[in-house]
Chains A and B, each alone.
Chain A
Amino acid sequence: GENVEQHPSTLSVQEGDSAVIKCTYSDSASNYFPWYKQELGKRPQLIIDIRSNVGEKKDQRIAVTLNKTAKHFSLHITETQPEDSAVYFCAARGARGGYQKVTFGIGTKLQVIP
């Protein structure tokens, strides 16, 4: 099955700096890569996603890149703010099982220091 590796597990940045979280996946059939933000005790919320026919996607301060050949994808947050502090999960969804199962990475705890 799919395996998603994520690093770093924790990340501290100064407010205003950029944060980068990297993930790799194992199943070359995976075609959809969502990123979720989870605040303490709350549900995972989709913040951005990218499909395998696109190499990069941007939404304001957040961008994702995808390298299908290397099976890498990354989340970039620019001009970080204290409210960006949360756990971020990358995930991959593949073709097996009818494009349904989402496999999550271990999560990155981002702390933005004011």
Chain B
Amino acid sequence: EPEVTQTPSHQVTQMGQEVILRCVPISNHLYFYWYRQILGQKVEFLVSFYNNEISEKSEIFDDQFSVERPDGSNFTLKIRSTKLEDSAMYFCASTIDRGYEQYFGPGTRLTVT
């Protein structure tokens, strides 16, 4: 069964550094998402992406965040200048069409020191 994959599984970075988290959605899926989960808390929506543009974003997704689909398979989340409070598990998800189940990747644990 196809799965969403994410790399790296764990990223440690210093405050102020830029990080790029990578995701490979399921190949025939058209809608892509990023969520984050701070340790012990609920999963929070960050952004949705369709047809090479952001379709919805949350208040968490400020100017420090950006997303890109640089080629036909990857979907990336960039944090320009990381803060301590960006430490969290970041999940990518994809779906074949809106209204259908979103499939989650295994997550990238981001630790900002």
At the interface with chain B, which of A54-62, A68-76, A92-100?
Answer: A92-100
Which listed residue, B42, B45, B102, touches A105 by the CB 8 Å rule?
B42
Residue numbers in B under 8 Å from A98 (CB-CB)? 50, 55-56, 98
> Is the Cβ of B45 less than 8 Å from the Cβ of A44?
no
Residue numbers in B under 8 Å from A100 (CB-CB)? 31, 33, 48, 50, 55-56, 98
Closest-CB distance, B58 to chain A (whole angstroms): 8
The answer to whether residues A43 and B42 also contact, given A100-B33, A100-B48 and a CB cut-off of 8 A, is no
Bound together, the chains give a CA A38 to CA B110 distance in angstroms of 18
CB of B25 within 8 A of chain A?
Answer: no
Interface size of A by CB at 8 A reads 22
Bound together, the chains give a CA A46 to CA B104 distance in angstroms of 9
> Is the Cβ of B42 less than 8 Å from the Cβ of A44?
no
Which listed residue, A43, A49, A101, A107, touches B56 by the CB 8 Å rule?
A101
Name B's A-contacting residues (CB within 8 A). 31, 33, 35, 41-45, 48, 50, 55-56, 58, 91, 98-99, 101-107
Name A's B-contacting residues (CB within 8 A). 32, 34, 36, 42-46, 49, 89, 91, 97-107
CB<8 Å pairs between A and B, sample of 25:
A32-B99, A43-B91, A43-B104, A44-B43, A44-B91, A45-B104, A49-B101, A89-B42, A91-B43, A97-B55, A98-B50, A98-B56, A99-B99, A100-B48, A100-B50, A100-B55, A100-B98, A101-B45, A101-B58, A102-B33, A102-B102, A104-B43, A104-B45, A105-B42, A106-B41
